Amino acid sequence: MKYKKQVEKWDVFEVEIQGPAAGNPFTDYEVTGTFESKNECTEADGFYDGDGIYKVRFMPSFEEEYTFRIRAGFLDADLVGRFTATAPGKDNHGPVRVANTFHFAYEDGTPYYSVGTTCYVWDLQSDELIGKTLKTLKESAFNKIRFCVFPKHYDYNLGEPRSYPYQGTPMDSSVLTKENFQEYTGRSEGNDWDFTRFNTEHFRHIEKCIEVLRDLGIEADLIVMHPYDRWGFSCMKPEEDDLYWKYVIARFAAYRNIWWSLANEFDLFEEKNVEDWERYAKIICEKDPYKHLRSIHNCRNFYDHNRPWITHCSIQRQDIYKSAEMVNEWREKYKKPVVLDEIAYEGNIQHGWGNISGEEMLRRFWEAAVRGGYPGHGETYMHPQDILWWSHGGELHGESHKRFGFLLNVMKETPGIGLMPYEKCGWDEVCAVPEESTSLIKAVKEYYLFYYSFMRPSFRDFYFDDETAFEVRVLDTWNMTVENRGIHKGKFRVELPGKQYMAVQIKKA
Amino acid sequence: MKYKKQVEKWDVFEVEIQGPAAGNPFTDYEVTGTFESKNECTEADGFYDGDGIYKVRFMPSFEEEYTFRIRAGFLDADLVGRFTATAPGKDNHGPVRVANTFHFAYEDGTPYYSVGTTCYVWDLQSDELIGKTLKTLKESAFNKIRFCVFPKHYDYNLGEPRSYPYQGTPMDSSVLTKENFQEYTGRSEGNDWDFTRFNTEHFRHIEKCIEVLRDLGIEADLIVMHPYDRWGFSCMKPEEDDLYWKYVIARFAAYRNIWWSLANEFDLFEEKNVEDWERYAKIICEKDPYKHLRSIHNCRNFYDHNRPWITHCSIQRQDIYKSAEMVNEWREKYKKPVVLDEIAYEGNIQHGWGNISGEEMLRRFWEAAVRGGYPGHGETYMHPQDILWWSHGGELHGESHKRFGFLLNVMKETPGIGLMPYEKCGWDEVCAVPEESTSLIKAVKEYYLFYYSFMRPSFRDFYFDDETAFEVRVLDTWNMTVENRGIHKGKFRVELPGKQYMAVQIKKA
């Protein structure tokens, strides 16, 4: 039995034991751990990691002494041990939770303002490309990334992944062209997989990616299933799916930065129905002791985000023209955080979902944020080797991402946790005020963040009351400039440059 | 009795007679004319034009000999005469009519593609400013302009008009400021009008404006009533309104370029209801022998454009974000031409309806056009003397209007009359094909006009059938360039520059 005597609270505590390598260690034995301290008692599934090595992982939630007990079908007696969970490091705030109904905060209470991006299979690229992606992420404001466990088969994604999740061999991809790729689906011939034997190297690699993201302060929004498949991973049998879900949870649940995205575009799966998705959800709810965030992403029609296991909406835009503008409506409908995981991508590929301008992407970000939602980025610029950020990671070529840090900093200035749309603003502006429950609604708010989108007023007049003094700042959200405009009381006018993408920030002095 | 012996078909034939100037000549006498030829027999009301002069006007619709008979309460016997209607001049195509259900054509069959602008009270400005407006219009692609008979009281419009429609005196406007103007309404004190006595000079001047527009080939979309009023013209009594309507029709109906807009923003009138609007409509239908186009414009809620007297929808956008994109829906609902008379204005004033960019305005124009509708322009740039094109005319300062001629020329290339949205196009493009009745729907169209709006594809693939050869052109709608891309058959790819506002024009070779 191998384990460390000490681990930070919210880090991964891992116990490694030796066991049989013969037969099918993925299915032959059940391995579990029980972790106890003064404040918690948690049971966690273990998993087989190849070469006769079995592992059980645990994320402690308290700074205290823990004892643990490992049970396994191949063990004559339980193994026991103890370790200490120490204070978290400076950048370790714990897992992200829903906070204030519509928002998020780390477990230590620090507000978390999601600024996400999507690189579906960045994790399955070459070491060199992964290195580039991480460098890009490090220099970015992104604090969440969506990506897949399974490889992806789609336009601009016809290559082989660095590894496959199962033992076996894939279909011969030399037959694929940009014209015929859509003829190949999960039911294509030539795939030869043993869906009861995982490729441990594939999962170890993904773990490594999750760890690096964690160390960069980035949440890993893990897409566990998706329909863009030529290998059969999207149409396994129910017992194979269940085995997969349990394996994924046993391996990854102890990482504090994991979010579970049941699917990308669940409605494009031809062979899954609501019962399947609900079954997977049940497995997660039972098997993930840490209750990480759970969502499911649509292509066309929404999943019912009112389902109790769904912690937040993970939305794809419903209309070409109106996107982030619908956040108000979705907040009202679901009473959960609204995360817009796809509001079209900045780029210039032929597809309409992947060719909006940087200006339009940033505009959608601000619209979403000021309506109390959380926008998501993606980038799809044509590339000589078809390396598109949206799927492969690598380098960013666009303009919007450079401006997200400015937005994130503004979001962080919110008093309390999270913004909500201010209903009394003009019809031709959006305005955010700090989230407050209806029972506590105050007449004059502490803070107002007005956004003018593509409109270009040369000035705006404001009036809140006669007593309160306000500090006024004018933000150019594109050029990232801030102008202090002094302290004002009563009725006051703010001169603006008559340009697009301006905001006015007003806080109680 | 004074009249000319000869007039062009669709021009104004006018008969002038002397009569009493004492009493109230506007109400004391009825004057009518009957105009007869081989093909028509038309009755028209006359009107008092001051100084004992009464006039009857008529627009002949046939090239032939006419006789006429004038009746008046003050005449002992009818007056009779005859004249010849000659062939129309080169630029005289007759009045504009609805054609092909959703479109317009002049009476001689020439398609009319409306590219309108709004200058609410350009006609009531100084001679100098009117001169500037006409110069601007002459150099523009506009073929329709919306404007009012009554002066306008509103932000940026606090000055006095050059004249008033009635005899009397207005309230003292020296009390007005930008802050208090909204406190003054049609019920404000100080106005002293005789609503039974028109100021003939005011109407003579408007006539002159209609004539100059006609000579520039521009339709006069005359807004007969509007709610932006501090003088009481928006809250006259029913019999005063009826007198006004009859006077307006008697004076202006014989002009071939007149369109009747019953109201700007009918839903903002506090003292009119549907019965009033229907009564005015009835008067127009009875009194305008030439059946000029009739519409009524909304602020928020639409009038019921299904009413039989409404020839075309005159629409104000319903949503900040989605505007011209709704043309498909409105075509379907009303089965009439869809004219978007306000889809926000290019400019930079404080109001959200008046500060979109030139790019966005042009984008809305193309969206509307390619969906088989007709967009309208307006401009509201801040100006040191508050001279805004939208109300006052003068000079244009924006960017969109420079590109309307390019659009108009493309519209004129439509085979037949008018474009309709092509339902089989991709979800991420809009495409127009020539308007055709459902019973005649052809598999492969003669002509396709694809528009990519704010999306920026680097290429698009096309396939219609294996036999038909198509000529392909790439249009940059902003830079107004056209690139010929040769003849193509079967499946073909069109390379695009990955820029916004591109269109692809494809016609049978």
Q: Within an 8 Å CB–CB cutoff, is residue A457 touching chain B? A: yes
Residue B323's closest chain A neighbor by CA? A321
Whole-number pLDDT of residue A318: 87
Residue B355's closest chain A neighbor by CA? A456
What DSSP designation does B328 have? H
Q: Residue B361 and residue B347: Cα distance in Å, rounded?
A: 10
Q: Residue A157 forms beta bridges with which residues?
A: A154
Interhelix angle B404-412/B358-370, rounded to 10 degrees, is 10
Q: Residue A421 and residue A430: Cα distance in Å, rounded?
A: 7
Q: Considering CB atoms only, which of B322, B325, B353 is closest to A428?
A: B353
Does A458 contact B427 at a Cβ distance shorter than 8 Å?
no
Residue type, B125: Q
Q: Average model confidence (pLDDT) for chain A?
A: 97
- pLDDT confidence tier of residue A439, bands split at 50, 70 and 90: confident
3-state secondary structure of B507: strand
Q: Count CB neighbours of B24 within 10 A.
A: 12
At A100-153, the pLDDT tens digits run 999 999 999 999 999 999 999 999 999 999 999 999 999 999 999 999 999 999
Strands A219-225, A258-263: pairing is: parallel
Provide the shortest C-alpha distance from residue A496 to chain B (in Å). Answer: 9
Q: Residue B313 and residue B366: Cα distance in Å, rounded?
A: 18
Residue B320's closest chain A neighbor by CA? A428
Kindly list the residues from chain B whose CB atom is less than 8 angstroms away from the CB atom of residue A155.
none
Q: Within an 8 Å CB–CB cutoff, is residue B463 touching chain A? A: no
Residue B452's closest chain A neighbor by CA? A352
Disruptive mutation site among B321, B381, B425 for chain A (greatest number of A CBs within 10 Å): B321
Whole-number pLDDT of residue B442: 81
Does B456 contact A321 at a Cβ distance shorter than 8 Å?
no
| N- to C-terminal Cα separation, chain B | 60
A128 phi and psi angles, rounded to 5 deg: -65, -45
Does B456 contact A428 at a Cβ distance shorter than 8 Å?
no
Disruptive mutation site among A316, A367, A425, A454 for chain B (greatest number of B CBs within 10 Å): A454
Residues composing chain A: 509
Q: Within an 8 Å CB–CB cutoff, is residue B322 touching chain A? A: yes
Q: Within an 8 Å CB–CB cutoff, is residue A500 touching chain B? A: yes
Q: Within an 8 Å CB–CB cutoff, is residue B163 touching chain A? A: no
Q: Within an 8 Å CB–CB cutoff, is residue A322 touching chain B? A: yes
pLDDT tens over chain B, length 509 residues: 999 999 999 999 999 999 999 999 999 999 999 999 999 999 999 999 999 999 999 999 999 999 999 999 999 999 999 999 999 999 999 999 999 999 999 999 999 999 999 999 999 999 999 999 999 999 999 999 999 999 999 999 999 999 999 999 999 999 999 999 999 999 999 999 999 999 999 999 999 999 999 999 999 999 999 999 999 999 999 999 999 999 999 999 999 999 999 999 999 999 999 999 999 999 999 999 999 999 999 999 999 999 999 999 999 998 999 999 999 999 999 999 999 999 999 999 999 999 999 999 999 999 999 999 999 999 999 999 999 999 999 999 999 999 999 999 999 999 999 999 999 999 999 999 999 987 777 889 999 999 999 999 999 999 999 999 999 999 999 999 999 999 999 999 999 999 999 999 999 99
Residue identified by tokens 């807009």 is B261
Whole-number pLDDT of residue A442: 81
Its sign, for the CA torsion B235, B237, B238, B243, is negative
Residue identified by tokens 């009859």 is B246
Whole-number pLDDT of residue B137: 98
Q: Residue B149 and residue A370: Cα distance in Å, rounded?
A: 43
**Residue B345 and residue B388 in contact, taking contact as beta carbons nearer than 8 Å:** no
Whole-number pLDDT of residue A211: 98
What DSSP designation does A309 have? T
Q: Within an 8 Å CB–CB cutoff, is residue A427 touching chain B? A: yes
Tokens linked to A65? 């002494």
Whole-number pLDDT of residue B350: 98
Considering only A55-69, A437-451, B402-416, which range has the smallest mean pLDDT?
A: A437-451
Closest listed residue to residue B398, CA positions, set B366, B359, B352: B359
Disruptive mutation site among B316, B320, B463 for chain A (greatest number of A CBs within 10 Å): B320
Whole-number pLDDT of residue B318: 87
Does A454 contact B356 at a Cβ distance shorter than 8 Å?
yes
The string of DSSP codes covering B35-59 is EE-SS-EEEEEEEE-STTEEEEEE-
Kindly list the residues from chain B whose CB atom is less than 8 angstroms away from the CB atom of residue A347.
456
Residue B351's closest chain A neighbor by CA? A457
| N- to C-terminal Cα separation, chain A | 60
Whole-number pLDDT of residue B245: 98
H-helix or E-strand spanning residue A409: helix A404-412
**Residue B31 and residue B54 in contact, taking contact as beta carbons nearer than 8 Å:** yes
Disruptive mutation site among B379, B456, B499 for chain A (greatest number of A CBs within 10 Å): B456
Query: What distances in angstroms separate CA B161 from CA B121, B125, B126, B181, B391, one per listed residue?
Result: 8, 6, 9, 16, 12
Residue identified by tokens 């519209």 is B411
**Residue A396 and residue A140 in contact, taking contact as beta carbons nearer than 8 Å:** yes
Q: Count CB neighbours of B280 within 10 A.
A: 25
Q: Residue A85 forms beta bridges with which residues?
A: A7
**Residue A166 and residue A199 in contact, taking contact as beta carbons nearer than 8 Å:** yes
Disruptive mutation site among B343, B454, B493, B504 for chain A (greatest number of A CBs within 10 Å): B454
Q: Count CB neighbours of A269 within 10 A.
A: 20
Whole-number pLDDT of residue B97: 98
Q: Residue A62 and residue A10: Cα distance in Å, rounded?
A: 8
Between chain A and chain B, the number of residue pairs with CB atoms below 8 A apart is 88
Residues 372-411 in B contacting A (C-alpha not used; CB under 8 Å)? 382
- pLDDT confidence tier of residue A452, bands split at 50, 70 and 90: very high
Q: Classify each residue of B175-184 as buried b or exposed e, where b means 16 or more C-beta atoms within 10 Å of its C-beta.
A: ebeeeebeeb
The domains found in chain A, sorted by start residue, are: 6-86 (2.60.40.10), 96-412 (3.20.20.80), 422-508 (2.60.40.3950)
Kindly list the residues from chain A whose CB atom is less than 8 angstroms away from the CB atom of residue B321.
321-322, 325
- pLDDT confidence tier of residue A334, bands split at 50, 70 and 90: very high
The string of DSSP codes covering A357-392 is -HHHHHHHHHHHHHTT-EEEE-EE---TT---HHHH
Does B382 contact A458 at a Cβ distance shorter than 8 Å?
yes
Provide the shortest C-alpha distance from residue B424 to chain A (in Å). Answer: 16
Residue identified by tokens 């698009």 is B460
Q: Within an 8 Å CB–CB cutoff, is residue A360 touching chain B? A: yes
Residue range A272-292: average pLDDT? 98
Non-local (6+) Cβ contacts of A315 within 8 A are A297, A298, A302, A330, A338, A339, A340, A341, A342
Kindly list the residues from chain B whose CB atom is less than 8 angstroms away from the CB atom of residue A455.
320, 352, 355-356
Whole-number pLDDT of residue B262: 98
- pLDDT confidence tier of residue A216, bands split at 50, 70 and 90: very high
Residue A320's closest chain B neighbor by CA? B428
Residues composing chain B: 509
Q: Within an 8 Å CB–CB cutoff, is residue A455 touching chain B? A: yes
Provide the shortest C-alpha distance from residue A274 to chain B (in Å). Answer: 27
Q: Classify each residue of A157-185 as buried b or exposed e, where b means 16 or more C-beta atoms within 10 Å of its C-beta.
A: bbbebbbbbbbeebbeeeebeeeebeebb
Residue range A12-31: average pLDDT? 97
What is the separation of C-alpha A489 from the centre of its chain, rounded to a whole number of angstroms? 42
Query: What distances in angstroms separate CA A351 from CA A4, A8, A320, A381, one per listed residue?
Result: 50, 46, 12, 11
Does A356 contact B459 at a Cβ distance shorter than 8 Å?
no
Provide the shortest C-alpha distance from residue B32 to chain A (in Å). Answer: 50
Whole-number pLDDT of residue B205: 98
Strands A502-508, A469-476: pairing is: antiparallel
Q: Residue B223 forms beta bridges with which residues?
A: B148, B261
**Residue A31 and residue A251 in contact, taking contact as beta carbons nearer than 8 Å:** no
Does A352 contact B429 at a Cβ distance shorter than 8 Å?
yes
Q: Within an 8 Å CB–CB cutoff, is residue A459 touching chain B? A: yes
Is residue A372 over pLDDT 90? yes
Q: Considering CB atoms only, which of B320, B427, B456 is closest to A355?
A: B456
Q: Considering CB atoms only, which of A321, A322, A498 is closest to B348?
A: A498
At A158-208, the pLDDT tens digits run 999 999 999 999 999 999 999 999 999 999 999 999 999 999 999 999 999
Whole-number pLDDT of residue B440: 76
Does B428 contact A351 at a Cβ distance shorter than 8 Å?
yes
Kindly list the residues from chain A whose CB atom is less than 8 angstroms away from the CB atom of residue B327.
none
